[in-house]
Amino acid sequence: MQWEHKHYVVAHGGPVSIKYTFILDIIHHLNTFSCIAFNNVTRTVLTQTMLLYLYFEPTVKIVTYRTVNITENETLLLLCNYTSNDDNNTSITWKYPSYGRIKYVQANKFLKVEHIKRTGAGEYTCVVSNSAGKANDTVTVNVLYSPEINITFENIKSNKILRCNAYGNPDDYVFSAWEHRTEYGDHIRYLNDNGNGCITLHHSPGETDINHDQGTYTCSVSNGVPYDGKMYRLANYTLKQNDLKYKMEFSKIYDIVYGTKVNIKGYKLFVPIRMSAPAYFTIYTVVVSNAYGQCHISVDLSPVRPPRAPNNLKAVALDHTILVK
């Protein structure tokens, strides 16, 4: 008895059985092996041929760059190319992050994620399995999004600092000049940013005193990713003078009701102001409002100056008095 492979005798044995042991390799796939037995009595040859079909571990390749850049809310589409000669036992699983968790999806070679969010950034892996084993390939998905911004205020010694904080991807920001407006929206000036999202307001007399610095400050920042069709995101901060403490008391006031002068319930408002700095000499406005409207009154608080020394004095003697002019 003997085994033959490609017309070569690869093993001898017998008389009842013969075994041929070898290490399988890809070159043996779809090869034929023949077991041949010789009958010395009848002088006949018996042959049994078999076709060797090997199942191989799959190969996998996600068709894209190793890093995929995509803007938030766009549709991500990945293609997992693979080879497997065991179709009946081949399965495809996608593994990827979703809202802070790892998601596993049994699917075909296409993965589609609609309206991808920033929480979907991370590694995306395609795993292909068959009866011989499994293989995988991984790419990194980088979700780009326009920055979220807010403004913080710091009062450090003689300076007031406004800082524009941006949180986006990529974190490479371009800050434009800040706009300073009144609380009613009137433009006052533009202030150049220091390049890192900060402006400094110096306490000094004149145009930058404590009152002129009041108003709304707007910062504008971009990282190259549009939001709602616009390249720049805006944030506002309203800088106000420290609120004054006040006291309110009930009071009787006179009013005309249907032609009759009567006492009605009213209020007295007491606002203590400590004049600790020249900047506190300014115009103060009290606004009172209710569901039907509002009214206001303003008071200009000015410092008291000592009287000036008189000039060109004349003394005129009268009968019993002296008149000074």
123-182 tens-digit pLDDT: 999 999 999 999 999 999 999 999 999 999 998 877 889 999 999 999 999 999 999 998
Confidence of residue 244 (pLDDT cuts 50, 70, 90): low
Q: What is the mean pLDDT of residues 238-242?
A: 77
Confidence of residue 242 (pLDDT cuts 50, 70, 90): low
Higher pLDDT, 159 or 237: 237
Going from N- to C-terminal start, the domains of the chain cover: 2-52, 59-145
Q: What is the DSSP string of 188-228?
A: EEEE---SSSEEEEE--SSTTSTTTT-EEEEEEEE-S--BT
Only one residue has tokens 């020394």, namely: 309
DSSP-based three-state secondary structure for 81: strand
Does residue 304 have a pLDDT over 90?
no
**CATH second-level architecture of 59-145?**
Sandwich (2.60)
Q: What is the mean pLDDT of residues 228-252?
A: 82
Q: What is the mean pLDDT of residues 209-236?
A: 88
Which stretch of 61-70, 108-117, 198-207 has the lowest confidence by average pLDDT? 198-207
CB count, 10 Å around CB of 170?
13
Confidence of residue 241 (pLDDT cuts 50, 70, 90): low
Model pLDDT for residues 246-277, shown as the tens digit of each residue: 777 878 887 887 778 877 778 887 777 777 66
Higher pLDDT, 292 or 204: 292
Provide the b/e sequence for 298-315 (b: ≥16 CB within 10 Å). eeeeeeeeeeeeeeeeee
Is 251 exposed, middle or buried (CB count within 10 Å of its CB: 0-12, 13-18, 19+)? exposed
- Which pTM value belongs to this model? 0.64
Residue 208: the pLDDT is 39
CA 40/CA 14 separation, integer angstroms: 13
Does residue 203 have a pLDDT over 60?
no
Higher pLDDT, 71 or 201: 71
In percent, the amount of the chain with pLDDT more than 90 equals 47
